[in-house]
Amino acid sequence: MVEWRRFEKDTASWQIRVAGIRCFLRWGRVDGQGSASTTILDDGKHALAHAKKKIAAQLRKGYVEVAAVVEPDPDDPAALVVGTIAARTRTGLPPLEVARRSRSRSGRRPTTRDRSRPSSKPW
């Protein structure tokens, strides 16, 4: 599991996590896709210091930390399915459904004009 620290202000969202020498940032509207960036630092100590500076800057801007976001392990296919369902529920989207194709009673596709009559156009 990968743990992100999440901060929100009005409709804006900002997230950060540190993994080794990398510092990952995500920002954008709440429940939107947003943008992301990665910073690679010299060592883990510098990565943590960088993250603390970024967090302090966001807190000065008025962001408030909210519950941590836990993402599923990308190597576990079952966790990805559960994560997708949870994300759709969290954003208020309806559950995934199978799309149905529209057909007439005869089973043929609906057309814009009746093909049994000849067209007045020569082409």
- pLDDT per residue over 48-88, tens digit each? 999 999 999 999 999 999 986 666 666 666 665 655 666 55
57 is a domain residue: yes
Query: What are the CA-CA distances from residue 86 to residues 25, 77, 89, 90 (Å)?
Result: 22, 14, 5, 6
Q: Do 44 and 21 contact (CB within 8 A), yes or no?
A: yes
| Sequence-ordered alpha helix ranges (H) in 4-105 | 44-60, 77-90
Report the Cα–Cα distance between both ends of the chain, in Å, rounded: 62
Q: What confidence tier does 117 reach under pLDDT thresholds 50, 70, 90?
A: low
Question: For position 22, which CATH number holds?
Answer: 2.20.140.10
Q: What is the pTM of this model?
A: 0.56
For the chain, what is the domain count? 1
28 is a domain residue: yes
- pLDDT per residue over 99-111, tens digit each? 455 555 565 665 5
Of 56 and 123, more confident: 56
